[in-house]
Amino acid sequence: MQGPMTFIEVKDFLRRFGVVIYTGDALGDCLLMEEELKELYEAGLADDDMYRNALMGIRRRVSELNNP
């Protein structure tokens, strides 16, 4: 995959593994998504590029939420 993923792409990626996160707190959701992504990476279910691009997508979303 080329370049950072969008937030929706990250959510779709996590859904493929049965991970659905919605707490009603957007920043909290991002933190949980980051943790789930890390677990998938450590389990070998996401390669380096996927992990890095998904992480950038989550962090971009956090930045958007912190700087509206």
68 residues of the chain, pLDDT tens digit each: 578 899 999 999 999 999 999 999 999 999 999 999 999 999 999 999 999 999 999 999 999 999 97
Q: What pLDDT was estimated at residue 68?
A: 78
Which pTM was predicted?
0.88
Q: What pLDDT was estimated at residue 27?
A: 95
Q: What pLDDT was estimated at residue 3?
A: 84
Q: What pLDDT was estimated at residue 17?
A: 96
Residue-range domains of the chain with CATH: 7-66 (1.10.287.760)
Q: CA 9, 14, 17: angle at the middle one, nearest 5?
A: 140
